Structure 1
């Protein structure tokens, strides 16, 4: 069990102690960076992945999550979003979903601060860890800026680890904290299955710490509440798995291992499928920008600990658990094929957590040197993100221009001028736009293009579990129940079929003309 050193906070803060200007500057710079992050998040353009989560969440109650709406992940996010939509009554679905992601960013930073405080890591360590997270070019891109299931499990890692540490910091495990740790970790897994490895390391942590507890105490006050919390957090997934296993596994496991693999094998879109390509992609993400700064801070602190207290000091259970989680995240990142940037996120939160955990184990001159190094790392991490965060700050000057607001309003205005009424059904493979404009959509397109594009590859035994159409049958499908309008995302080549259908059936172009508009709207002939 780690006990914070008596000299921890004063020594680690030596680089800033007694200099309130520099302390205020560090905290102020981080606060401005967080504000820039939120501005960037709320103004970031719509991405096709968001249709899967936002539209399905809005359509909850109109059909089964998997069989009717075509969702293909574990179910936590649509239920969370759908609940927020129902409670708030908001009609700006994309903006509401982005605000939820912003709340999870703040949650992550709050618990990172709590962990840094409990580990007596000092202000420089917290600022360095938080700046690495906020300034990450990876998370300032699509993985951290979209209303998808990529950022939320990352954010939940921090409260889960906080509860785990608090539950195991005493001589006997704390059942309450460990029940909470199991619950939050299980919720994270229910948002994204890539984080399943969390369960193994939380169990391992209970078994190896605290050293003063008996086996019976570890079972009764540790593993049992941890397991109960995990079971409670996993209920949404378990209910679907047990009540309709055929549809659940068809849309989750077999979708990714069979249908998506078949689709990408024939797709000419850019993709990374070979091991060599994955390694190069991983290198460009993990050994660049703030990820490289984090690695440098972690490795340097480990070297300082080993040089002052010996190598055995590095085998503290918290360092061991976080280190193994980083390694597991590295391995998990290589599993999906093809590879995309978001698959390389899992190691990052554990690498960030190692910064304050290691800082709390330094003493004397090594701790003072690390404090200066951490302060420098924090500054470099924020400087790295200035172009992106600066644009996010500038976005607050004109919120009406944000795509999360402007796109839906423009489509609603164009539709109204052409005679469409709120609630009219629109055929769209970018259904978020149609919903934000106040129109209804086909359940077959609730997941955007993600079921539509794999429809030709669905094997006969799985077809009963899918409610969809396909590129080959699109015309006959729409002819059987014609839409009031057709909405086309000009950035998506796959949606050219919708435009072709609209023009072939005499639908009238509506809305502004010009190359700069992101959409085409076609209204049914009078």
Structure 2
């Protein structure tokens, strides 16, 4: 089925119905669709590049530049699985000439394109409907929970989704088509492991596939299912997870200290003490439920859920039997429903809860819509057209306040956030050079600024404030696995190697020991333009003259 068929009037309602095929109108409709998607992509790109800096980006972006000299975990604190750091490293090697943050945000835009492409391809294969495939792409590009930090900041929140969805989709296609190709099932396992290597929470996509691999197709003997379904997926999963196993086996305590113990220990302790600094922080189950409600039952997710219910109702009301064919078609539906359940449950596990933890179930909804559509009888397909058209229009209207203003950034009206960060970093470097400071490290909780200009930073602060702020809440046995200096230890680090400059002004409470050090040791405050962001105005303190001479 081609895109052209989207605009042809069907004859399924009546065999005597005549179809008027106007090539000019069809061509105009095709052009309108292409232009519409180009505008949507341009708006998403503009919002991505115009989105303000986020603290989480200090964890994910600096390693892309530092991994050329330092090792993850051993030399740099990193509280996530490593694939995201390697992903951003690759984009920095390709786009790094445009700036560090620019290369990372380009990595996120590539993830957007991959997510839209995977979703469209899967829904097309599962439903054989170009209309539904186009609607699914629109739903992803206009999904409001992705319009904020989960989909706009350079982090691992979005990176997991296209790989997890591809892993689920390859398996569903083989179940639906009942071909059980080894290459597709192997690819399913690889993609699921890649997703888990991007973000631990993507593990939620694995249990439904793993369980179903032993149970489906039900018509096959158990031994055959193990050999032809479960084994290829398992082998693919092992290949995709091989780098994780290597890191784990090389130093289990170091790896687990960053990936598991950080999130279950000092991270939770820090937020329990500082809960008042983050309004609406979701620490308890009730607060997490409210956060999930606002993410799942609002805007585009609600619209896609309505489409699923419509197609489900059409399928159920026309179903008169439940033969072997129907049973085999129902298997993929159970797998997707299981995935919705596991991803939703996984969303509630991290403490505290943040909005990015609740987005995984949303990308599964279009897949469920495709499976429901595939069960709608041909006699009812004409009724699906107005549903998809209205739902697509509602998705776009819902997203207009989010996306329309961002076209200005795409068109170059004003500087983007990566441009401002790069300019600020270069201004800092130029000021240091003007004052005769050509060597030394910059101490700051926003290391992207100095790294944009090729300046050195302290390994203890290389990923921002995350290791620094948990130091008082970290047991000594655990702390020995982190490259970390807290408020009590940072001055000792500076005494060993005095900062060439300190860039402060963004976290007054956390920065107080750094500011006190600068004042006590006679650092000179100078004015540097371009260092302002959503966290405040940058204050630069340079070495005393005698130190730099």
- TM (norm. structure 2) is 0.88
Preserved contact between residue 12 and residue 379 of structure 2 (Cα < 8 Å):
no
Q: CA deviation at 1:446?
A: 1.6
> Does residue 315 of structure 2 align to residue 321 of structure 1?
no
Per the alignment, do residues 120 and 294 of structure 1 end up closer, same or farther by CA in structure 2, a change over 3 Å counting? closer
Deviation at 1:423, TM superposition (A): 6.5
Aligned to 2:298: 288
Structure 1 residue 399: Cα displacement: 6.8
Specify which of 273, 277, 280 is matched with residue 269 of structure 1: 277
Give, in angstroms, the shift of residue 275 of structure 1: 1.5
Distance 2:86 2:413 in 1: 28
Is 1:106–2:113 an aligned residue pair?
Answer: yes
Q: CA deviation at 1:64?
A: 3.6
The CA deviation string for residues 55-94 of structure 1, in whole angstroms up to 9 with x for no partner, is 1232225444123211111111112222443466646111
Q: Partner of 2:540: helix, strand, or coil?
A: strand
Q: Would you say 1:79 and 2:82 are equivalent positions?
A: no
How many Å separate the matches in 2 of 1:513 and 1:310? 72
Q: Conserved in 1, the CA contact under 8 Å of 2:528 and 2:540? A: no
Whole-angstrom CA distance in 2 between matches of 1:99 and 1:337? 30
Structure 1, unpaired ranges of 5+: 1-6
More displaced, 354-363 or 327-336?
Answer: 354-363
Instruction: Please tell me whether the aligned partners of residues 72 and 255 of structure 1 are also in contact (alpha carbons under 8 angstroms).
Output: yes
Deviations 1:449-486 (A, max 9, x none): 11111111211222221121111222232122111111
Q: Do structure 1's residue 206 and structure 2's residue 222 form an aligned pair?
A: no
Secondary structure of 1:73's partner? coil
C-alpha contact 1:170 1:210 (8 A) present in aligned 2: no
Tell which deviates more after alignment, 251-260 or 366-375: 366-375
- Check 1:523–1:486 CA distance in 2 against 1; reply closer, same or farther (3 A cut): same
RMSD over aligned CA atoms reads: 2.8
Residue 254 of structure 1 aligns with which residue?
261
User: Deviation of residue 22 (structure 1)?
Assistant: 4.4
- Cα distance in 2, alignment partners of residues 35 and 209 from structure 1: 42
**Which stretch has the larger CA shift, 509-518 or 105-114?**
509-518
CA contact (8 A) 1:426 1:483 kept: yes
CA shift in 2, pair 1:288/1:14, >3 Å: farther
Residue in structure 1 matching 2:490, options 449, 470, 474: 474
Q: CA separation in 1, counterparts of 2:197 and 2:475?
A: 27
Q: 1:385 aligns to what SS in structure 2?
A: helix
* Counterpart-to-counterpart distance in 2, 1:213 and 1:53: 45
Where 1:447 maps in the other structure, the secondary structure is coil
Deviation at 1:154, TM superposition (A): 1.1
Task: Using the TM superposition, give the Cα deviation of residue 499 of structure 1 relative to its aligned residue in structure 2, in angstroms.
Answer: 3.4
Task: Provide the C-alpha distance between the structure 2 equivalents of 1:104 and 1:262, rounded to a whole number of angstroms.
Answer: 33
Distance (Å, rounded) in 1 between the aligned partners of 2:386 and 2:223: 44
Quote the Cα distance in structure 1 between the aligned partners of 2:220 and 2:81: 36
How far the C-alpha of 1:95 sits from its partner, in A, is: 0.7
* Structure 2 residue 544 is matched with structure 1 residue 525: yes
Look up the SS of the partner of 1:509 in the other structure: strand
Computing the radius of gyration over CA atoms, which structure comes out larger, 1 or 2? 2
Q: Could you tell me how far apart the structure 2 residues matched to 1:231 and 1:523 are?
A: 51
2:518 pairs, out of 492, 496, 502, with 502
Q: Deviations over 1:261-311 (max 9, x none)?
A: 111110032211121111111111111111111111111211111111159
CA distance in 2, matches of 1:17, 1:281: 50
Please state whether the residue corresponding to 1:298 is helix, strand or coil: helix
> In structure 2, what is the Cα distance between the partners aligned to 1:319 and 1:122?
17
Q: Distance in 2 between matches of 1:519 and 1:265?
A: 28
Distance verdict in 2 for CA 1:323–1:245, change over 3 Å: same
**1:87-121, CA deviations, whole angstroms, 9 ceiling, x for partnerless residues?**
66646111101101111111111122222322244
Change (3 A) 1:241 1:300: same
Q: Distance in 2 between matches of 1:85 and 1:350?
A: 30
Q: Which digits, 9 at most, give the CA deviation of each residue in 1:470-519, with x for residues without a partner? A: 11222232122111111125367533443343233222233446996642
Aligned to 2:16: none
Counterpart for residue 381 of structure 1: 395
How much has 1:358 moved relative to structure 2?
Answer: 1.9
In the aligned structure 2, how far is the partner of 1:152 from the partner of 1:24? 31
Q: Highest relative contact order (Cα 8 Å, sep 6+), 1 or 2?
A: 1
Q: Which among 279, 288, 301 is matched to residue 311 of structure 2?
A: 301
Q: State the distance in 2 between where 1:482 and 1:65 align.
A: 24
* Cα distance in 2 for residues equivalent to 1:222 and 1:365: 34
8 A contact 2:77–2:258 mirrored in 1? yes
1:380–1:8 CA distance, 2 compared to 1 (3 A): closer
Following the alignment from structure 1 to structure 2, what is the Cα–Cα distance between the partners of residues 93 and 516?
A: 17
> Alpha-carbon deviation of 1:222?
1.7
| Cα separation, partners in 2 of 1:259 and 1:342, compared to 1, 3 Å | same
**Are the equivalent residues in 2 in contact too, given 1:152–1:191 (CA < 8 A)?**
yes
Do the aligned partners of 1:418 and 1:510 also contact (CA within 8 Å) in 2? no
Cα distance in 1 for partners of 2:515, 2:39 equals 44
Q: TM-score, normalised by structure 1?
A: 0.91
Q: Which residue of 2 aligns with 1:168?
A: 175
Distance in 2 between the 1:76 and 1:159 partners? 17
Residues 182 and 416 of structure 1: CA distance in aligned 2, closer, same or farther (over 3 Å): same
Q: Answer yes or no: is 1:401 the counterpart of 2:408.
A: no
SS in 2 for 1:51: helix
C-alpha contact 1:12 1:122 (8 A) present in aligned 2 = no
Measure, in 2, the Cα distance between the counterparts of 1:427 and 1:231.
Answer: 41
- Closer, same or farther: CA 400–503 of 1 in aligned 2, 3 Å: farther
Residue in 2 that maps onto 1:433: 449
Tell me which moved more, 319-328 or 359-368: 359-368
